[in-house]
Each structure stands twice: as structure tokens, then as C-alpha cells.
Amino acid sequence: MGWRAKRKLVEELAMVLVKIKAVQFGTFTLSSGKLSSYYVDLRAVPSYPGAYKVVVDAYGQLIRNGLGSKKFDAIAGIPTAGLAFSSPLALQFSKPMVYARKEEKQYGRERRIEGVIKPGWNVLVVDDLVTTGGSIASAAQAIREEGGEVKDAVVLIDRLEGGGTNLRKSGVSLHSLTDIVEVSDILYSEGMIGDDEMKAIVRQVGKKRR
């Protein structure tokens, strides 16, 4: 995918996400208790069929152009938001799908992986966002314990808080369609956010990158 084609795709995506309020700017308290100058919640995307299609198609283009369907044998989703996108992608690419629980079940087979992984399968991990990369790294470890291999992970938006670097240490290459700075820059150029909001994003990301 060329730069212009990718930029056009990200522009469409940014506008859609703001329209359905999946991306919001202001002052928010995250689950960790930390304050953030923006909030991204992609769990609502499937409630809007038009937006859902745009997002799933964007993932599909990222995978086709960034990896190619021959580089993985199965797709793994990370609950909960990741599953909303891994399921249609598995159908789109005609690949088996599994998902990784955050914790082992305390009954039945007591496993973290639901679904079937054949030994040696290369499994592509799909999530909505990446922050520090902890959820993806944990899922990759669980998949490896089941006999699969994990070399790549895809997300829609990188929050630029060290996820890519941390995942490389776990042997996983991160592929993101865009990042929060690019999304913010597009919205700023369209007059949808102001100087103060844009500066707050850049300031927040800059602190996390150091």
C-alpha cells in the first residue's frame, strides 16, 4: 500500500471513529488511574455496521499489504475488543480462529486458549489497540505453550507508549495501521480538534516515549 493510499484510508477511519465517538479528546481517567488527554474505545464499533465495515476492511488491507495471508495459518483474537475484529478477519482470510483468555479457566480443560492450534502453526494475533504490549505478549506466550508460533500482531491504533519495542523483546513484530498522533493530526487539519488538544496529545506521547 502506497503512502497516499494509506493516508486516505487512515483519514476515512479517523473521521468514522470520531463520528461514532470511539475516539474522544479531553481529560479522561483510565482504568489504571492515570489521566489521559484522549480516550479510544473500539468496543462500540460493531454497533455501527457502516463503521464496522470500514474498520474490518482497514484491518484486511493492513494484513494483505503488510504481511500477506501466506505468512500465518490461524488468527487469534484477544478479548474483548480484539474478538470483534478477529472473527470477521478469520472469515475474510479463510483461516481458523482461536482466542486467548486473560486467565486460565478453573474448570474443564483449564486452558487459556480456546479453539484448536496445530503444532507449528504460525498464529497472527489481532487486537484493537496497543499500549505497552502486555496483553499481546501474554497471548503470544499462551499460544506458544499450546505448540503454536507467534511472529506478528496487528492492531488498528498504536498509542505510542512502548508497545512495539516491548513486543520485539518477546519476538513479536507489531503492525499497526496508524497511531494516535497521526489520527490527531488528521483531525486537527480538519478543524475537529484545536491547538490545545493537539499539543496535549503530542506532550502525552512525548512523555511516554522517553
Cis ω for the linkage preceding 178 (within 30 of 0):
no
3-state secondary structure of 2: coil
Nearest CA to 151 out of 140, 139, 166, 162 is that of: 140
Task: Return per-residue pLDDT of the chain as tens, 210 residues.
Answer: 777 888 899 999 999 999 999 999 888 887 667 788 999 999 999 999 999 999 999 999 999 998 999 999 999 999 888 999 999 999 999 999 999 887 655 445 567 899 999 999 999 999 999 989 999 999 999 999 999 999 999 999 999 989 999 999 999 999 999 999 999 999 999 999 999 999 999 888 885 543
What is the pTM (predicted TM-score) of this model? 0.91
Please provide residue 149's backbone torsions phi and psi, each rounded to the nearest 5 degrees.
-120, 145
CB 152 within 8 A of CB 124: yes
Q: What is the DSSP string of 121-190?
A: -BEEEE-SEESSSHHHHHHHHHHHHTT-B--EEEEEEE--SSHHHHHHHTT-EEEEEEEHHHHHHHHHHT
Q: Which helix (H) or strand (E) holds 37?
A: strand 35-40
3-state secondary structure of 76: strand
Instruction: Return the CATH number at 89.
Output: 3.40.50.2020
Q: What is the pLDDT of residue 43?
A: 93
* Joined grid coordinates for residue 153: 500482531
Domain ranges, residue 79? 3-209
**Distance of alpha carbon 18 from the chain centroid:** 17
Q: What is the pLDDT of residue 107?
A: 47
CB 65 within 8 A of CB 72: no
CB 58 within 8 A of CB 9: yes
Q: What is the pLDDT of residue 208?
A: 55
Q: Which helix (H) or strand (E) holds 87?
A: helix 81-92
Number of domains in the chain: 1
